Amino acid sequence: MTKIADLLAAGQTYSFEFFPPKNDAELATLARTISELQPLNPSFVSVTYRGGAASRQRTFDLVSGMLHTTSLNPMAHLICVAHSRLELAEILVTLRKAGVENLMALGGDPPADPDAGPGELAYATELVELARAIGGFSIGVAAHPAGHPRSPDARSDRDFLAAKLEVADFGITQFFFEVSEYEGLRADLEARGVRTPVLPGILPVTSLASMGRLGTMGAPAPEWMQARLRAAHEAGGSDAVRSEGVRLATELCADLLTLGVPGLHFYTFNTSSATREIYAALGLGPSLAATG
């Protein structure tokens, strides 16, 4: 493995995010996606974590499997919610024993199970500090260009984010759709003296249905983007929407690269074709036929 902090120090990184499969059908889809994306030689891939024993095991199994059976450089997500400090320490030790060196430290959403409890650690910063005490990790944290949904105001959101990035090695943003959002985030952090690299998160929106769900995921599509996707649907149906969504994501990536961002992080939702098409259009990797 290679630590993400070292990769970022050497130049721009390109990375993908997956979620652990819940059943055999999802596992087959993910296996195909991994085989299709591996030839793009991503700098690293991240694996999400929802909390709970089952999700914990699925995340560990996927990260460990990637580490030992592929050429991919995996990063494990871990959340504070519904875990005791001791439990989190045990998970971190298990990850290190398995050879995992890269960690995404997250506060996590409130647990759906009312009996789960909030957990002993309230903030991702505390999880970063715990992981530092265990040792051996390159640690990332989340950043929200539009502000965390639970932040009381924009200023306190940026203050908390700055403090979090000061103890982490890098950040990765929630997806967004306008370059100005990233520029505003970067300017706010620079004004606070923060120089920790923050990778922009990219989500290709390839259907009207997925566009409608963006608001509940924390980043609704701007009006101009909705208009372009709806116009594409009127002109050519779902295939045209998909093509326009890939085009929009490619334009965003090109503009971000012009800004000199430290890299690009793609939210794949366990499919590969859109990411591969964007890669090819930007000249970042081999031009592969999109079949996923």
The pLDDT tens digits of the residues spanning 180-211 come to 999 999 999 999 999 999 999 999 999 999 99
For residue 20, give every residue at least 6 positions away whose Cβ sits within 8 Å of its Cβ, in sequence order, or none. 47, 48, 49, 55, 58, 59, 61, 62
Stronger pLDDT, 218 or 288, i.e. the higher one: 218
The verdict on residue 289 lying in a domain is no
Provide the number of structural domains found in the chain: 1
Active site residues: 17
The verdict on residue 290 lying in a domain is no
Instruction: Specify whether the CB–CB gap between 184 and 259 falls below 8 A.
Output: no
For 286, counting Cβ atoms within 10 Å of its Cβ (0-12 exposed, 13-18 middle, 19+ buried), the class is exposed
Q: What pLDDT does residue 178 have?
A: 97
How much of the chain, in percent, has pLDDT values that exceed 70?
Answer: 93
- Check: pTM over 0.85? Answer yes or no: yes
Q: What is the CATH number of the domain that holds 156?
A: 3.20.20.220
Give the mean model confidence (pLDDT) for residues 209-218.
87
Q: 182 lies in which domain range? A: 4-282
Confidence of residue 152 (pLDDT cuts 50, 70, 90): confident
Give the mean model confidence (pLDDT) for residues 231-237.
97
Q: What pLDDT does residue 118 have?
A: 62
Q: What is the mean pLDDT of the chain?
A: 91
The verdict on residue 287 lying in a domain is no
Least confident of 44-58, 95-109, 231-245: 44-58
Instruction: Specify whether the CB–CB gap between 140 and 171 falls below 8 A.
Output: yes
Residue 114 has pLDDT above 80, yes or no: no
For 198, counting Cβ atoms within 10 Å of its Cβ (0-12 exposed, 13-18 middle, 19+ buried), the class is buried
- Token reading at 228: 């372009």
Instruction: Specify whether the CB–CB gap between 65 and 44 falls below 8 A.
Output: no
Per-residue pLDDT tens over the stretch 170-181: 999 999 999 999
CA distances (Å), 179 to each of 89, 92, 145, 265, 276, in order? 38, 35, 10, 15, 21
The verdict on residue 291 lying in a domain is no
The verdict on residue 219 lying in a domain is yes
Residue 116 has pLDDT above 80, yes or no: no
The verdict on residue 288 lying in a domain is no
